[in-house]
Structure 1
Amino acid sequence: MSRLTVTLTEFSEHQMPLLEKVWIELQQNSEQSFFTSWHWISTWLKYINFKTDLIKVLDGDEVVGLGLLCFKSNRKYGVTSRQAWLNRTGDGVKDQIWLEYNDVLCAKHRAWAVRAALADYFEHALHQCDELMVGVSNSELIEIPRASTLMQHTSWETVSYATHLQSAFANLDCFLNTLSANTRSQIRRTQKLYSQRGAIKLTKASSAEEALMMLNEVSILHLARWGKINSGFENPEFFRFHVQLIKDNFNSEAIDILKLTVGELTIGYLYNLIYQDQVYFYLSGINYEKDNRIKPGLLIHSLATAYYAEKGYSTYDYMGGEGRYKKSLSSHSNKMIISSIRRKKPHFLLSYCIHKLKSRFTNQKSISNCTND
């Protein structure tokens, strides 16, 4: 096998048609996610006004890896670092659109070699950069092969949850029978209480226009639940991106917005992204009630699970973020991280030592507390 080579060129809008062709050809030979597909990437390029650099990983003349790098300076603790951000801008406001499973788009069975080539390129060619920023990604990216002159740093981590779908789950009872007795009881009780008010119905947006109207309704419910601090809908950039994502991709069946109603009452919405045979739950807007016996979130996700099982999808992915409902409904979990590759510069080494000392102190305190119980 020949040595992989990496090129980095400034991107411009007129390159979109050619990049679309190359990107789609590669993604057809890839096993990655919606967030590295042309669905997401093409909208993101327009969103950032095409201000990025294109990175290609080549095996001879064959493209085996593609990614986009944005460069930004970051000042912390009185030290300025130059950062390269993979498929993100480095601007917290713009990056609140929150992609997950971030990675270089890699040819099937070539992921480790492509990632290693990128790390090698960072070490030897991106001399102006101190840090290569990646994430939110699967935790396996910690294991990217890298030179001894580089160090890996994880700045954030969480758990992602997902359900492996079976055709039998098209029957809701079959799915519920895989859950704990407590979760099953809560969902069935919710069904019973709602059914006393009217017919329970799950419907899908039938057009991009209807999906956009639903997105507005989702935003109202999401803001009511999460307020101005934790809801992306408070950020105009977030809303702008997702409006464009729906406009660009609804007709290609890459976007689903599901609505749950009971009679004339709207219970909630799910905004989902679709890629290959997987469903990615992106966010919800739920009309919560004071009666804590009613669990609308559990019900709408259960009905969505049955709906997607009937459609033949393989996975219903709740993605990153702790949540009791995710744990209750899922069949497996993974760790997700925001990670970077850093040069071994003094301020990074000092930061690493401080982090290790804090971790050791926390662990010792935890052990001491256990001993005193």
Structure 2
Amino acid sequence: MIVSATFSQPDRATLAERWQALEARSEGSFFLGWTWVGAWLDSYGVRPDLLAVTDAAGQDVALALVGHAMQPRLLGGIATLSLNQSGDPQADRPYVEYNGLLTEAGRETEADAAAIAALTRRRDWRALTLSGIAPDSPLLGLPARRRNRIDVSPVYQVDLDAVRAADGDYLSLLSTNTRSQIRRAMKDHGGPLPDVAIGGLDDVTPWLEEMAVLNGGRHADNAWDDAGFRGFVGTICARGLSSGAVQLLRFTDAGGVVGLLVNFVHRGVAMNYQSAFAAPRTPKDKPGLLCHTAAVGHYAVRGLSRYSLLAGKDRYKQSLATCEESLEWWVLERFSPRLEAEALLRRLLKRPASA
């Protein structure tokens, strides 16, 4: 069947209706679902273009949002499109992963080809940002002067089938050192893993406020210091809790709170999106490891297939993982005198595109 692709800016209600209708026929990631997309649009008030691939009857085959912004570069601003992002660093703080087109199942090949052709026809950009895409994403086939891979990140995961096969003994699947750290922390907390409470709608505001306090001053450029980001997390929790697409977990023991997690649950995979942990009670205490270990047990007994720590190169994620995959961040560039000069300057200075 012949498909075509166009750009438009439908009103919010129409966009929601079309997106959710296609989502019901898609096998897309959580980050391409309306729980994420709607919360992001409403939290930041951005208005990216809608890229729609439709069939001859006008039915949506694939959808994506495309932001347009002047992005700062080494020699000045460059007109840049961003897939399912706005191009504004503040509005893109939620950090999309498993990015791509929301596509009707079974029609990926024709949808990708039509989307690539539509993006190629646009003449108002010189760079295209593809954040958090699969390494084999067909969108990387878009014609370009240069393809710069900005980053590759592991996505560390726990195979919950393996945990169940080990009769629930998750620690037996980990390294000797990690097992020792977790057992020592359990001893510091009085023995067992912390209790897990599942938050409801009434818990969203107080528990997220608690997370903001626990995360305060932990590191530079802390997302939890940003009111817009806190609003986004609150919105996505409020909208996703009732369906189970979002879970808010709080971990406690006799000594009080140990930590909190905001997790997404999609197609049998639980994904840890945000976390906050109490201060260590002893020099060798590991409250984060305790909470994630308890979360693994929580999801294993509920029959899920994976517990994902999402993208990130943190050592603790690697320590907790039993398997992994990867995501990539790319910028595709067209010919531009400014970008040609930048590329030459980077070669002379031996400065990579990611710098």
- Which TM-score applies when normalising by structure 2? 0.89
Displacement of 1:153: 2.1
Who is 2:41 aligned against?
A: 45
Please state whether the residue corresponding to 2:26 is helix, strand or coil.
coil
Who is 1:368 aligned against?
A: none
Which structure 2 segments of 5+ residues have no match?
A: none
Who is 1:341 aligned against?
A: 332
Identify which of 270, 292, 295 aligns with 1:279.
270
Identify which of 208, 211, 215 aligns with 2:208.
215
Percent of aligned positions that are identical = 24
The reply on whether 1:141 has 2:137 as its aligned counterpart is yes
What is the root-mean-square deviation in Å for CA atoms of aligned residues?
A: 2.6
Question: 66-75 or 302-311, which moves further after superposition?
Answer: 66-75
Q: Is the 8 A contact 1:212 1:246 kept in 2?
A: no
| Aligned AA (2:146) | M
Who is 2:236 aligned against?
A: 245
Please state whether the residue corresponding to 1:230 is helix, strand or coil.
coil
| Aligned AA (2:181) | Q
Which structure 1 segments of 5+ residues have no match?
A: 362-373
Who is 2:93 aligned against?
A: 96
Q: Deviations over 1:54-89 (max 9, x none)?
A: 111124334221011221123434443211222211
Separation of aligned partners in 2, 1:93 and 1:349: 28
Who is 1:6 aligned against?
A: 5
Displacement of 1:213: 1.1
**Equivalence map 1:1-373=2 (5 Å):** 2-13=1-12, 16=13, 18-49=14-45, 51-61=47-57, 62-124=59-121, 126-141=122-137, 144-147=140-143, 149-166=144-161, 168-169=163-164, 173-195=168-190, 200-205=194-199, 207-226=200-219, 229-289=220-280, 291-355=282-346
Sort the Cα spacing of 1:355 and 1:335 in 2 relative to 1 into closer, same or farther, 3 A: farther
Separation of aligned partners in 1, 2:221 and 2:113: 35
Question: How many residues are aligned here?
Answer: 351
Sort the Cα spacing of 1:150 and 1:294 in 2 relative to 1 into closer, same or farther, 3 A: same
Q: Is the 8 A contact 2:194 2:258 kept in 1?
A: no
Q: Is the 8 A contact 1:170 1:310 kept in 2?
A: no
Q: Deviations over 1:169-225 (max 9, x none)?
A: 4988521111112211221222222126x98312111x1121221111011111242
Q: Deviations over 1:239-258 (max 9, x none)?
A: 11111112222212121111
Displacement of 1:355: 4.6
Sort the Cα spacing of 1:58 and 1:359 in 2 relative to 1 into closer, same or farther, 3 A: farther
Displacement of 1:344: 2.4
Sort the Cα spacing of 1:193 and 1:74 in 2 relative to 1 into closer, same or farther, 3 A: closer
Displacement of 1:168: 4.7
Please state whether the residue corresponding to 1:133 is helix, strand or coil.
strand
